[in-house]
Amino acid sequence: MESENYTPAVKRSEVEWQEILSPEEYAVLRQAGTERPFTGEYYTTTAPGSYRCRACNAVLFESDTKFPSHCGWPTFYAPLAEDRVRYLRDTTMGMTRTEVRCANCDSHLGHVFEGEGYDTPTDLRYCINSISLVLDEDAAKA
């Protein structure tokens, strides 16, 4: 699951990240925080387009893989490509989960869950913080 030799393409110091990101964005993207459920900008969004990493602008998810799971955060059944995200074992909060990070800049996006029975092409639910994403609606028109 986790690569020992991983090096992100985008490398910045924590001070540089703090200058680029708002305090709320920094708390989620760089400190693996979580936004409150049902409050995020993209929770109910159905607009077509590409979802990019808010920290580095890498395209991560497409709107046609977004589905309503009613969990409180935007959910997708697959990333754009497996090389766009990376996975880490997360044992915080008294449970074992799989954390999802941007492969380009190593920012925290959310978690992925499997085996929940959603009617999607995969058996996966990528539960992603809205604050980790930016929707590029122009990508849908191209």
How many CB atoms are closer than 10 A to CB 141? 8
Catalytic residue among 53, 56, 105, 127: 127
22: left (phi over 0), alpha (psi -120 to 50) or beta: beta
35 secondary structure, DSSP code = P
Q: Helices (H), strands (E): how many in the chain?
A: 3, 9
127 is catalytic: yes
**Residues annotated as part of the active site:** 127
